[in-house]
Amino acid sequence: MVVNLDEGNPGISILLRSLSLLVGITLAVPAFGNCLTANETKQGVLLTREAPFYSVFYKPDGPGLTEQRLMERDGSLQPVSAVYLHPLLVEKRVSASGTHELKYANAIALDDLPQKKNWQSDTTLFINGKKSVSGTTFIRFDGLGEETIASCSYNVWVINSRLKLTELPPIIFEQYYSPELNLVLRSVRLSAANQPLSEVRFDRFQIGWGN
């Protein structure tokens, strides 16, 4: 099933694309030689996909992460920066299209998802500092799993993340989160019918910036 975001209202189309970038945390860590360790990820991790080119540097910042991304779009490389309150929850993303920020009404409590099973919060989207639309963020724990990248395997939580804003289709991702590394190792974009639409995996990684 393929969803064409260009159909219908062009303003909604642009907003949906921006929201998809804002919400979609897509990390994967292939291993060459040694596997990533929790101690190494504290130095920051540079992940790169070769085609289409997409390189992102994630560095821990308290319970969350900061992101510096360079991605190929429309034949040119475009920088993007972001802040995550938790690896499963983005707060702000800045790109050539402006600043998109999500404000959550509830306290962030995601580290005990296996016990609580779900978390949700009223959510408001701000675009370039101006309130746009409101809705709800739902994050659900779907079970435990194992994610294998190259020759390395990690225990993960399988997470369903859904953002539903007024008058817009839901934005849904299935994420595979390693609590040990504090990183999402894989992310799959889902349709409203829970059918896979896209998936991003990286080809290589480096510890720290430019090592």
* pLDDT score, position 99: 96
**Residue 16 pLDDT > 60, yes or no?**
no
* pLDDT score, position 98: 94
Q: Which residues, at least 6 apart from 99, have a Cβ–Cβ distance to it below 8 Å?
A: 92, 93, 126, 127, 128, 129
Please tell me the pTM assigned to this model: 0.78
In the chain the domains, ranked by start, together with CATH numbers, are 10-207 (2.40.360)
Identify whether the C-beta of residue 80 lies closer than 8 Å to the C-beta of residue 94. Answer: yes
Q: Angle CA(197)–CA(201)–CA(28) in degrees, nearest 5?
A: 125
Q: What is the 8-class DSSP label of residue 108?
A: P
